[in-house]
Structure 1
C-alpha cells in the first residue's frame, strides 16, 4: 500500500473507492477508479483490475462524517441465482451504479465469521459505498452471497434502505453447482459451515443432518441454510426485503429489473432498460465477451440433469430425509409470490 498521505483522498468523490479494508489496523484502502471499473469486471473484489499496492491507506478514525444515504438499494442473493445478470441489467452509469460484490463487504463478512467485532465498520463502509456519481444519481450494492451473515447489519446501518433478495430452486441450485470448477467445489464445505453458523437453522440440525454424505448433499444443505438465514433477516427487517426467484429473472429480465427499481424507489427509463436488458441477456454475465442465452442455460441444465441423475437423486433423498423436516415453511416459500 502506498505511503501517500490520506489528504489526497477526497471522500466526497465516489471515484475514490474503498477497494479493500483491514479490520485489524483498522483502515480502508482507497483508490481512484473510473466507470469502467464498475461496469466492466464481473466482481469488484480482487478481480477489479487495479493496482491494490497503490492504494492510499485511510484509517477508520480519520474518515470524516458522511451523510446517511437517502436511496440505499441492496441486492442480496444466495448462490447461483442470476444476480450478476440482473445487476448488469440495472447498470446505467453514471445515473445508476451497481457495485457487484465489493471486497470490503467480503472482508467484513469474513471478520464476522471469525468472531471479530465489526459493528464500528457498518456506518462508514455503507456511507462510502452509497455516494452517488452524479446529481440525483443512485447506487445499488450487491454483496457477495457469503456476506449474508452481515446483511442485517447492513440494513440497520442504512435506515430507510430496501433490499431485493434473489434465490433459486433446489434443483437449479444443485445443477448450477455441478457446472462449477473443482476450485469452486473445494470451497463448498466452508460456505456451508458459514451459512449454517450465521442463521437459526443450526439450532435444529443434528446427527446426519450436519454430515452430508456427498458434495451435492452439502450443496443442498447450503441451499437450505441460505434460505433460512434470509428468513431470519426478513423477520428483523420490518418489510424491507422483497424476494425474487431466478426463474423470474430469466423469464423477464427487463420486467424484473423494473420491479426492483420500483421497489427501491429509483427512477426508471423504460426504453433504455429494455434495450440494455436485451443486450445483457445475450451474453455471459460474468464473461461478457461470450455469447449466452436462457435457452442455452436450459439445454445445459437438462444435459447435466441426465448425466448426473443418480447423484442428484441421492442428494435429494438425503435432503428430504435429513434437512427438509427442519426447514420452516416460509423459507421454502421464499420467491414463490
Structure 2
C-alpha cells in the first residue's frame, strides 16, 4: 500500500555490468524509473524474494540498494518475450495482497505486489510530466514487468492504489489484459482506517491529495471543503472516488473487467478463485482451484506473515467498529448521501460472482 518513495535519480547510467542475456532474465526486476535520464533501475529479485516481500518496495527487497541502471530503450531491446499480463486494481485494505500471494504459483502465474516503478510514473506525472511521455514510459514499464518466471505463466500486476488513475491507460495499452476490481465495503474500509489510528488517518489524507492531483474526485465539493472534513470523511471521499473510477472501467472495458468484494473472496474463496482463473485465462481445472483455495496464505496476515485466521479478522473488525462506532455510523450515513448525490454506486457493477 505504498504511496510515496524517494525520487530515483542517478548519473551513473550503466553502473555495474549486466550482460544482455542477464537483462533478459526475468529475475531482473524493473524496480525504479528515472525520467531525468530516461533510465531504468534493475535489481535482482527472484521468485523467493518477491514472494517473501510484502510489497516490491525498497523496504522489503534486500537488493534494492544495489541496482543496475540501464537506459530504458536498451533494457526494452533486450526483452525476448512478453507474457500475458492482467491486473488487480484495488481500493486498499481489501485483501489484495492476500489474493496476489494466492495466485503466485509456479506454472500458473507470477504476481507483482505494488511494483515501485509504477509509483515513480505517478510521481513524475504529478510533477508535471508530459502525459504522452508518461503513457509511453508506462508502456515500457509494463513490457519490462510482463516477464513471468516460467514461460506460459501469466503475469498479474497488483499496483498500489495510488496508481489507480493510470488504470484506464494500462487497460488501453494492453488490450488483451483483464482486471479484477477488488474492494472492501465502505463500512469495513472505514473501520480499518479508524483502527490504524494516526497513521491510517494520515494515509487517507495523502491518498486524497494524490487523487485530487489526478482529477479523480468529482463529488461536488469546493476545494476549501476538504479542509473541513474529518479524517474518516476524507477516507470516505477517497473510497467513493475509487468506486466511481471502478464503475467507469467496467463501462469502458466491457467484458474485460469484473468487481469483487473482499468479504465475498473470504467467504467463498473457491468459487471466487475459479472465476478469477477463468477471467485471467489461467488453468481452472478442479485440482488447480482446490490447491489455490487451500493456500496457506488464507491463514496468515498478508502484511507480516503471522498466523491470522478469519476469526481473528472478524474479531478485529468487531472491536474496531465498537470503539469507533459513533464516528463510523455518522460518516457512513454522510458518505452514502454524498455517493447518492454524485450518482456513484457503493458496489461497483459487473460482480465476478453473480
Structure 1 and Structure 2 fold alike (TM over 0.5): yes
Contact preservation (8 Å) 1:30, 1:58? yes
SS of structure 2 residue aligned to 1:64: helix
Distance in 2 between the 1:200 and 1:44 partners? 25
Deviations 1:220-250 (A, max 9, x none): 1111011112223333324321111111111
Shift of 1:314: 2.7
Alignment partner of 2:341 out of 306, 326, 336: 326
- Asked if 1:50 is matched to 2:62, the reply is yes
What's 2:316 paired with?
Answer: 300
SS of structure 1 residue aligned to 2:238: helix
Distance in 1 between the 2:45 and 2:223 partners? 49
What's 1:227 paired with?
Answer: 243
Alignment partner of 2:195 out of 176, 179, 183: 179
Contact preservation (8 Å) 2:88, 2:181? yes
Shift of 1:329: 4.4
Distance in 2 between the 1:158 and 1:233 partners? 14
1:166-315 map, 5 Å: 166-180=182-196, 182-199=198-215, 201-202=217-218, 204-206=220-222, 210-268=226-284, 270-278=286-294, 279-288=296-305, 290-315=306-331
Q: Report the aligned-residue RMSD.
A: 2.4
Contact preservation (8 Å) 1:17, 1:32? yes
Deviations 1:294-331 (A, max 9, x none): 2221111112111111111232243244x233332446
Distance in 2 between the 1:269 and 1:35 partners? 24
Contact preservation (8 Å) 2:109, 2:154? yes
What's 2:28 paired with?
Answer: 16
SS of structure 2 residue aligned to 1:182: helix
Deviations 1:6-62 (A, max 9, x none): 545633221111121112222110122211122111111123322323111111232
Give TM-score, length-normalised by structure 2: 0.86
Deviations 1:92-111 (A, max 9, x none): 03542111111111111222
What's 2:126 paired with?
Answer: 113
Structure 1 residues 193 and 215, CA gap change in structure 2 (3 angstroms): same
Q: Which blocks of at least 5 consecutive residues in structure 1 are unaligned?
A: none
Give TM-score, length-normalised by structure 1: 0.90
How many matched pairs? 335
SS of structure 1 residue aligned to 2:62: coil
Q: Which blocks of at least 5 consecutive residues in structure 2 are unaligned?
A: 1-9
